[in-house]
Structure 1
Amino acid sequence: MENTDINEAVQELETILDVVRWSVSRFNQAGLYFGHGTDNAWDEVISMVLQVLHLPQQIDLQLYQSRLTTSEKRQVLELIQRRIDERVPAAYLTNQAWFCGLPFYVDERVLVPRSPIAELIQNRFAGFLTEEPGYILDLCTGSACIAIACAYEFPEAQVDAADISYDALDVASINIEEHQLQDRVFPLHSDVYSGLAGQKYDLIVTNPPYVDAEDIADMPEEFHVEPVIGLAAGEDGLDIVHTILRDAPDHLNDGGWLIVEVGNSLVHMNEQYADLPLTWITFEHGGDGVFAVQKEALAEYFAGNE
């Protein structure tokens, strides 16, 4: 998109709706990929425009007829141009993503939050937890969005947010402080469970790296901006999941649950763990590849497969 196009748009467009319509047309023309919090050009443009204008993500429809100043139009349209030219997920351009209805700071050190586990959290893990968890672990925490959302949903729980990446933990700490949860959510450096010796939890939730080698090679350009350490997990996508499953019983209290997202690698899970009683979760709002398994089932399975 040429600067002349932006100059023309700044001169001709007037309202928020004008800018949104024009930007959606440019996104569709450019053939962008949407998969980092939105799945279409319209929703992504609206989110970006409202963030630049420092407006809530939900506004009255009448406000879309509000006229913008020249400087506001130029600021919005230059960001739109960056999204097209750089093929960077919108959340990295605005440094904000939403998860469980909560805002999170993000940059290229962490994945953009988008897990269907959000629905599980908002439903308070119905069907699995029979009482309030006292101790929760968010393993491979990244931005700490799962940890923080769990802390909001279970206000009496202590939540550990563990990750192997110090860069990710820096981002997690930013979010923990912004949500003022330093007294209940704790960022911890750990290679899977290596930094959690002696720690036990009522619930372990993890969205680990699970993308297999074939999918890594085929991913749209936007995904390659994200840290590969948060995505790639070997030929079958299960390099880290094997360790998570095997050692989980040592870190779960009796009756505790492990919730794991494996995405498209669910095919490999079913092949390699056919005898492990996994509960695959159906989501009302879309998404798949997430399973739940209880401590006792894991312990029995690995005792019989040593």
Structure 2
Amino acid sequence: MRIDELLKGAYERLTFVSDTAQLDAQLLLAHVLEVSTSYFYTWPDKTVESANIERFDVLLVRRERGEPIAYLLGHQAFWSVDLEVAPCTLIPRADTERLVEVALSVLDINRANRILDLGTGTGAIALALAAELPNANVVGVDLIEDAVALAKRNASRNRISNVRFVQSSWFDALGTSESFDLIVSNPPYIDSNDEHLSQGDVRFEPKSALVAEKQGMADIEHIIQQASGYMAPNAYLVFEHGYDQALAVQQRLREAGFVSIESFQDLGGNDRVTIGQYK
């Protein structure tokens, strides 16, 4: 079968399950053929071997069931890094790049900053910051052993050496003498009753990385309560949170004695990132 014929059939199959059916089909076929998607515009009449058609069909069936493209491809671009992804942790999303932008905006980039990423998952935030700040010393922690191993592989994959990853429940495995100029986190912040948990890609992602008690605020509150013991003077604490949680996060930071509290919007115009400074 020709490439253009194969893609046309794939578009039609995915139209009912994806808003990006054409792109999904191209990415999956490019993955199978080990080419870039631009190849399809140059050689639409090339014939695809039956073995590759079968591999492509297996991926299409999985996508028809709703499985995320990133899990099917095994990797996801984020900021300036390319990350291996796996079902043990969340898929990095474009909205989280806003957290990286905000974090970079509050740091003196000429200093050898010490940075902590809580709940690092793939290592996306830690690695993005380490890549931008080669003089920084970055630590990423995660409760899940497989996620820590994944983050370490991503550091090697992107040849980033100024970062280390540790298995820890938030601050528990860190030394009491450690202090950081910046603490960042994209913690679980979705309420267990949120209807979005049964929709889209999140159906396939680990609930432990998504859901928190107390209407999604439990982990955020825990981090705020513990963070001051690990922050250098004038350090910043930066969260990603739910679109409707900014005021609650601001209030918790204020109650804990943080100042210069501010929220920032994501690409969709929703409050997504909130910062506070420790005095």
Short-chain TM bin: 0.7 to 0.9
Judged with a 3 Å threshold, the aligned counterparts in structure 2 of structure 1 residues 270 and 162 are, in CA distance, closer, same or farther, namely: closer
Judged with a 3 Å threshold, the aligned counterparts in structure 2 of structure 1 residues 256 and 72 are, in CA distance, closer, same or farther, namely: same
Which structure has the highest strand share of the two?
Answer: 2
Q: Say which of 43, 56, 77 aligns to 2:23.
A: 43
2:260 aligned with 1:280, yes or no? no
Segment of structure 1 superposing worse, 212-221 or 87-96: 212-221
Which aligned pairs between 1:118-137 and structure 2 lie closer than 5 A?
118-121=97-100, 125-126=104-105, 128-132=106-110, 133-137=112-116
Structure 1 residue 230: Cα displacement: 0.5
Runs of 4+ in structure 1 off by over 4 angstroms are 274-277, 284-287
Equivalent position amino acid for 2:44 in 1? Q
Partner of 2:162: 184
Deviations 1:69-91 (A, max 9, x none): 22333322321122113x22122
Equivalent position amino acid for 2:168 in 1? S
Equivalent position amino acid for 1:26 in 2? R
Q: Secondary structure in 1 aligned to 2:115? A: strand
Segment of structure 1 superposing worse, 188-197 or 42-51: 42-51
Deviations 1:181-220 (A, max 9, x none): 3x42111111111111322111111111111122167531
**What is the CA–CA distance in structure 1 between the aligned matches of 2:26 and 2:102, rounded to whole Å?**
27
On the 8 A contact 1:169/1:189 being kept in 2, the answer is yes
Q: Say which of 234, 243, 257 aligns to 1:264.
A: 243
Partner of 1:295: 278
2:65 aligned with 1:78, yes or no? no
**What is the CA–CA distance in structure 2 between the aligned matches of 1:263 and 1:208, rounded to whole Å?**
10
Judged with a 3 Å threshold, the aligned counterparts in structure 2 of structure 1 residues 66 and 172 are, in CA distance, closer, same or farther, namely: farther
Judged with a 3 Å threshold, the aligned counterparts in structure 2 of structure 1 residues 61 and 81 are, in CA distance, closer, same or farther, namely: closer
2:40 aligned with 1:53, yes or no? no
Q: Which runs of 5+ in 2 are unaligned?
A: none
**What is the CA–CA distance in structure 2 between the aligned matches of 1:150 and 1:271, rounded to whole Å?**
24
Partner of 2:193: 214
Structure 1 residue 285: Cα displacement: 6.9
**What is the CA–CA distance in structure 1 between the aligned matches of 2:67 and 2:150, rounded to whole Å?**
18
Equivalent position amino acid for 1:24 in 2? Y
Structure 1 residue 110: Cα displacement: 1.0
Which aligned pairs between 1:164-203 and structure 2 lie closer than 5 A?
164-181=143-160, 183-197=161-175, 198-203=177-182
Segment of structure 1 superposing worse, 260-269 or 193-202: 260-269
Tell me how many residue pairs correspond in the alignment.
Answer: 272
Which aligned pairs between 1:94-109 and structure 2 lie closer than 5 A?
94-109=73-88
Partner of 1:25: 12
Judged with a 3 Å threshold, the aligned counterparts in structure 2 of structure 1 residues 279 and 78 are, in CA distance, closer, same or farther, namely: same
**What is the CA–CA distance in structure 2 between the aligned matches of 1:64 and 1:286, rounded to whole Å?**
40
On the 8 A contact 2:99/2:273 being kept in 1, the answer is no
Judged with a 3 Å threshold, the aligned counterparts in structure 2 of structure 1 residues 159 and 55 are, in CA distance, closer, same or farther, namely: farther
On the 8 A contact 2:181/2:232 being kept in 1, the answer is yes
Segment of structure 1 superposing worse, 170-179 or 158-167: 170-179
Structure 1 residue 260: Cα displacement: 0.3
On the 8 A contact 1:210/1:238 being kept in 2, the answer is yes
Judged with a 3 Å threshold, the aligned counterparts in structure 2 of structure 1 residues 61 and 77 are, in CA distance, closer, same or farther, namely: closer
Segment of structure 1 superposing worse, 44-53 or 245-254: 44-53
Structure 1 residue 229: Cα displacement: 1.1
Q: Secondary structure in 1 aligned to 2:245? A: helix
Partner of 2:206: 227
On the 8 A contact 1:141/1:162 being kept in 2, the answer is yes
On the 8 A contact 1:140/1:192 being kept in 2, the answer is yes
**What is the CA–CA distance in structure 2 between the aligned matches of 1:143 and 1:274, rounded to whole Å?**
27
Structure 1 residue 117: Cα displacement: 2.9
On the 8 A contact 1:237/1:265 being kept in 2, the answer is no
> Identity over the aligned pairs, expressed in percent?
24
Judged with a 3 Å threshold, the aligned counterparts in structure 2 of structure 1 residues 191 and 45 are, in CA distance, closer, same or farther, namely: same
Structure 1 residue 66: Cα displacement: 5.6
